[in-house]
Structure 1
Amino acid sequence: MPDATSPSLLQYGIQLPVQSQSTLYREPWETTAGPDELARAARAADRLGYAYIACCDHVAIPARLADAMGTTWYDPVSTLGWLAALTTRTLLLSHVAVAPLRHPLLSAKQYATLDLLSGGRLLLGVGAGHVPEEFEALGVDFHQRGPVLDETLTALSAALTDEYPSHPGPRFPFSGLAVSPRPAQRPRPPIWVGGSSPRAVRRAALLGEGWLSQGDSLEQLPAQLGLIASVREQAGRSGPFAVNAIPPALYVGEPGWETGRRALTGKPERLAASLRRYASLGVTHLQLRPRSRSLDEYLDQLEAVATDVLPLV
C-alpha cells in the first residue's frame, strides 16, 4: 500500500506557469508571457526548495477544444531540458507525457538523455491522453490508448534499465539494440502514472512507482488510495510509492480580488491546516499553484507559500 508519511515528510512541487495555458487554470498575465517568465518561475522554485517543477504535454489541440484548453502547450522534453540548465536541485517532472503518442524507444532515448544531462533529476510522469484528434493526426488508435500505454510502460522500463533492452510485446518488439546514453539514476528514473479513472489508478499501482492524481478531492482520495493499496498487495508489490495530489489554488493573505470559489486564501495557519489533511491520508507530494495577477505576484506568492505556509505543515 502507499507508504504512510508524516506531515514533515510531505513534499511540494509546482506545475509551471506559462508552459501550459488551459483556460481552466491559466492567469491572464500568462497569455503574453514567454521564456523569460518561465525561467524566472523555475529559478524561484529551485531557490525556494520546491521538490519538482512540472511541464505538461500536448502535441496539437483541435479547434473544438481550443477555447477550453488553449493552444499553448510547450514540449516537455525541450522545456525541462532547457530548465535543467537553469536550475540546480529541483526535480523535473513531465506531468504528464502522453506516452502512447510516441514509440517507447524514442521516449527512452529522450528521457534518458534528459536524466543524464540534469544529473539524475528526472521524474517521468506518463498518462494515456484524452484528445482523439491528436491521436488520429499522429496515426495512433485513440481507442487502444490504454493497452498501448500498458505495453509502453513495460517497454520504457526495459529501455531505461538496460543498455541492450529486450521487449517481446506485440506492438513494440525490440532486442539487440543499444540505447545510450544511459540515465544517471539507477536502475532507472522513477515512473509516475497519471489519471484518476479506476483503470489508470490500477495501472499506476501495477506498473509505476507513483500515482499522479488528476485533481481528486480530499473526499475522493481515500477510495483511490485504498484501490492502490489493494492492487499493490495482490500483486506482491512493496516499497516506496509516491502519491501526488493537487489541492485547490492558494493565495497567502487576503487578495482583495476575486480568486475563485475553490481557491484557498487567508493566513498561513489556515492554508497549512488544509494541506495537512492531505498528509494525513498518505499523500506524499502536493502540486501547488498560487493565484496571481502578474509574474511578480506569482513569485511573491511562491515565496510566501514556501516560507510562511509549508513550515507549518
Structure 2
Amino acid sequence: MQLPVQSQSTIYAEPWEPGAGPEDLVAVAQAVEDAGFDYLASCDHIAVPRRLAPAMSTVWYDPVATLAYLAGVTERVRLLSHVAIVALRHPLVTAKQYATLDHLSGGRLVLGVGAGHVREEFEALGVDFGRRGALLDEAIDALRAALGPQEFPEHHGKSYDFEGLGQRPRPAQTRVPLWVGGSSPAAVRRAALKADGWLPQGDPRDRLPAQIARLRELRAQAGVTEPLTVNAIAEPLYVGTPCWDVGRRTLSGAPEALAESLNAYPAMGVHVIQVRFRCRSRTELTDQIAAFGAEVAPRLD
C-alpha cells in the first residue's frame, strides 16, 4: 500500500493526516509489515507550484529519506518509490541514493519510476519538460547500469554519459526491480519494453484487461520473455460495515465479500493489488490494515 501522511493530495488524503507525523508513519509501516503486506510506497515531488497547491498540497516527503527511515523500523516489507521522477536528477545521483537504500535495507528496494507532470518543477531545476519522456527512457538504461553489479558502471547516451566513476556501496540485490508507472500509451510501452513491472495510474477495472493485453502484445513483439509484475490500484476499501460515510466508490463489507470482489484482479492477470483504506484516524487505519491481513488476504487468489 501507499503510505498516508507522506503525500497529502486532496484526492486521497484523509482529514487526520495534516496533523500526523513521523510516529504515525512508523506505526503504519509496522502494521503493514505485521499484516503480511508485500510493499509500502512513498511518492516523489520536489516542489509544487502555487497553482497546483490547493489540489496537490505541498506535503510531499522525500521518498529516499522516508523509505530509509522506515527501513530502520521494519525488517521484511519491500520499499517502493511510487514513483520517483528520475528525469529531475542525474542518474548517478539517483543510483547513489537508491543503491544506499537497498544496501541499508538488506535488498528490499523496488525502484518505481515515472515521467512526472508538473512543468514548473522541471523548469525550476533546469530540465526540459518537453523531453521528460525521452529523458526517462534514457535514465532507465543509465540506472540499469548504475544499479548493476559493477563498481564502475558505464553508460553512453544522448543526455547522460559516464564511465570510470566508481560508486559504493553497491545494492544488496543483484538486480534491483524497476517498475514503470503511468497509464498513457507511452508509459505502457515503456513498461513493456524496459521494466520488470507496471504501476498503472488510475485505471479503473474495465480498462485493465486491454492495458494488460497491450503489455503482453508489446513484449511478445519485442521478444521479451522475462516475467513482468502487473500491479493494480484497487478502489478504496473498508473492512466491515462502516458507521460513517466512506464514499460511494469505496468497497466495504464482510471479508468474504471484499475478497470475492478483489479476486477479479488476479483473474485479469494482475499480480499485486495496491490498496488504500478509508479511515478517520491512525488507529482506525492500523485496525483496517490488520483486519485486511488477517481476514481478507488469505481469501485472495
Q: With structure 2 as the length reference, what TM-score do the two structures score?
A: 0.98
Partner of 1:8: none
Give per-residue Cα distances to partners, 1:173-223, cap 9 Å, x unaligned: 11111121100001x211000000010010011111000011211110011
Partner of 1:172: 160
Partner of 2:211: 224
Partner of 2:46: 59
Number of matched residues? 299
| Deviation for aligned residue 1:28 | 0.3
| Deviation for aligned residue 1:290 | 0.8
Equivalent position SS for 1:227: helix
User: Runs of 4+ in structure 1 displaced over 3 angstroms?
Assistant: none
Residues 1:106 and 2:93 are matched in the alignment: yes
Partner of 1:263: 250
Residues 1:74 and 2:61 are matched in the alignment: yes
CA distance in 2, matches of 1:163, 1:285: 32
| Deviation for aligned residue 1:239 | 2.1
Partner of 1:282: 269
Equivalent position SS for 1:129: coil
> Which residue identity lines up with residue 17 of structure 1 in the other structure?
P
Matches within 5 A, 1:45-194: 45-161=32-148, 162-186=150-174, 188-194=175-181
Partner of 1:11: none
Contact 1:248 1:264 in 2 (8 A): yes
Equivalent position SS for 1:15: coil
Contact 1:15 1:287 in 2 (8 A): yes
Report 1 or 2 for greater relative contact order, CA contacts < 8 Å, sequence distance ≥ 6. Answer: 1
CA RMSD of the aligned region, Å? 0.7
- Name structure 1 gaps, 5 residues minimum: 1-13
CA distance in 1, matches of 2:247, 2:89: 37
Residues 1:236 and 2:216 are matched in the alignment: no
User: Percent identity at matched positions?
Assistant: 59
| Deviation for aligned residue 1:311 | 1.0
Between 121-130 and 163-172, report the one with greater CA deviation.
163-172
Give per-residue Cα distances to partners, 1:30-50, cap 9 Å, x unaligned: 010000101100011111111
> Which residue identity lines up with residue 169 of structure 2 in the other structure?
P
Partner of 1:5: none
Contact 1:215 1:247 in 2 (8 A): no
